[in-house]
Structure 1
Amino acid sequence: MQTPRDGDSMPSDQGQRRPQPPVWPAGHRAALIVSIDVDGEYGVIAHHGADDWYWRAQARYDLEAGVWRLLEIMADYDVQGTFCWVGRAAEDRPDAVLAAHRAGHEIATHGWDHRTYASMSREEQREDLIRTRDVLASITGSTPVGHKSPFWRFNEHTVPLLQELGFRWNMDIAAGDLPVAMRPHPELPPVIQLPPSRLWDDYSFFVDWVMPPRHAFELWRDDLDVLRAEGKLMCLTLHPWVGGRPGPSRALTQLLDYAIALGDVWIARADHVALWWQERERDLAEENPS
């Protein structure tokens, strides 16, 4: 159990709700996924346009410095996360993809060039998913099984396509605090929906607003306390050019200090959480056949 390095708050059960029966492996009371969206320049190009060199210059921090700092932090804490890659960013820096893969992190898809899936036809989405998945597979030798849509903007085609293409999880729909098995095609294995939140996104603290890292940590800590009391899941979203900068990266180290010191929070890759949930649902169905 580690001593907090960057924050002076210690784990406490004061004011929490009565603990619920654990649903996570090995008696863990809650789960935490650290997902890192590696957009390169393409997220800000999709949002601000290719001619806005201010934002493009800011986002170049992503692959030059931010991703490496986040990899070092994760290695320091010996925890694994999920790196969601824009395909073009992966093509630009396959060395960064390999570094994350070789460190034991999951590699997932995040669109080819960060255009929104909500604006794409079904066939366009299909081509985008396959192209991104294939590039990542060619770099790592392992086929991605997870997807997060750019800007979390999806449409009615997205989940059915993910299921048809064999993806096992998606992180787009903030509909609750637990995973949900989605089965648009009942005959196929489900897509496990892992719920994100804009309140667990570094953009909300360091781009939409600019505030001290401790404010992000304090909100995430308080949310984790409630989720731990209820036996639920937090899906954190970071961007290397935002949460990977020197000061903002302290929000992550403070949260990891806190979560590890609690001793009963499962910090895991998205694919591991999704697999656990799918197996749990299967076991519950076998125990309680309809």
Structure 2
Amino acid sequence: MNNAQSWQWPETEWRGHVNRVRAGQSLIHPDPAQRWKGGARAAVLLSFDSDHETPSLRDGETSPGRMAQGEYGARAGVPRILELLRRYESPASFYIPAVCALLRPDEVPTYVEQGHEVAVHGWIHERNTLLTHEQELDLLGRATDVLHRQAGIRPVGIRTPSWDFSDSTLDVIRELGFIYDSSLMADDEPYEILADGAQTGIVEIPVEWIRDDAPYLMMDRFTGLRPYMPPRQLLQIWKDEFDAAYAEGGVFQLTMHPHIIGHRSRLMILAELMDHIRSHNDVWITTHADLAAHVASRLTTRTTIS
């Protein structure tokens, strides 16, 4: 193991870390009129990480209180979210740890029956940066198999737990044959992931903490983690994010959690956001999988970096 300080690294080392997993070519069409399906001005991607009890289980926090907080997401949050999506005729992507799917075998089929995508989100919301390549491959492989059985179709996408990438994650994603990932943050628009400067053919649909409910609304009574923003202030941030994406002809991607956004006062702002989005008649609301398939044709251009 190299114990040298980062300022002592040779150029090959710091350059190697930077280039290990890197953003390649943008995958959006340069002509806005040809960019999105049906000539839409912008694309909207709603996603929900149905973590439920797993972040607590992962950390060995098994008190009934912790379990109840997670149970709320499945028991109260998910039905409200599905009703809202039905009302606005909006398909969405649900990323669910396999343990959650096994706890409630009807949850994944319900998502699929209502026209939504189901994608991989780890086994038990594990911290993949602590795993070996073999452990990460085993957990994600088993998670994929669980969702395949329950959904009736094999997931094509992955969102890593906590948006973490280990040194092995990209290799595992390639080994398992995923078409896209949605865990990285190198752009606002979809791009191809490069591995050590070489193309992978994997679409990245970027996420961002600005467009995630957790940083604003999470609560932990034993730490300094507290909701610091009223939901209606958060609504304005997300409206501004959508408006900017619409003005640029880009993607507005949003990440939410049933146990966080699924509370009554918070779901109200999602409904208001959808009212705002639906006031534009040239917006394509779609799943991450459909967007990845749409932009995949742009992968034909070969690029490398050094």
Range into which the TM-score falls when normalised by the shorter chain = 0.7 to 0.9
- Within the candidate set 233, 241, 252, 1:215 is matched to 233
Determine if contact 1:169/1:271 at 8 Å carries over to the other structure. Answer: yes
- Deviation track 1:44-72 (CA, whole Å, cap 9, x = no partner) reads 3335x424543332121011111111111
CA RMSD of aligned residues (A): 2.2
* Cα distance between partner residues in 2 of 1:136 and 1:186: 32
Which consecutive unaligned segments of at least 5 residues does structure 1 have? 1-18
Tell me what 1:25 maps to.
Answer: 37
TM-score relative to the length of structure 1: 0.85
2:272 counterpart of 1:272? no
Tell me what 2:70 maps to.
Answer: 59
- Deviation track 1:247-274 (CA, whole Å, cap 9, x = no partner) reads 1112221111111111222111000011
* Cα distance between partner residues in 1 of 2:153 and 2:58: 28
* Cα distance between partner residues in 2 of 1:26 and 1:253: 24
Tell me what 1:227 maps to.
Answer: 245
2:166 counterpart of 1:155? yes
Q: Which deviates more, 186-195 or 141-150?
A: 186-195
* Cα distance between partner residues in 2 of 1:261 and 1:281: 33
* Cα distance between partner residues in 2 of 1:174 and 1:53: 35
Letter aligned with residue 23 of structure 1:
R
**3-state SS of the aligned residue for 2:258?**
coil
Tell me what 1:43 maps to.
Answer: 55
- Deviation track 1:121-165 (CA, whole Å, cap 9, x = no partner) reads 111111111110100111121100111111111123112221221
Tell me what 2:175 maps to.
Answer: 164
- What does 1:118-133 align with in structure 2 at a 5 Å threshold? 118-133=129-144
Tell me what 1:101 maps to.
Answer: 112
Determine if contact 1:37/1:237 at 8 Å carries over to the other structure. Answer: yes
* Cα distance between partner residues in 1 of 2:186 and 2:34: 21
**3-state SS of the aligned residue for 2:264?**
coil
* Cα distance between partner residues in 2 of 1:188 and 1:95: 38
Determine if contact 1:205/1:211 at 8 Å carries over to the other structure. Answer: yes
2:273 counterpart of 1:261? no
* Cα distance between partner residues in 2 of 1:26 and 1:101: 24
Aligned length: 265
Identity value in percent: 31
Determine if contact 2:97/2:125 at 8 Å carries over to the other structure. Answer: yes
Letter aligned with residue 260 of structure 1:
R
Letter aligned with residue 253 of structure 1:
A
Q: Which deviates more, 50-59 or 155-164?
A: 50-59
* Cα distance between partner residues in 1 of 2:151 and 2:32: 39
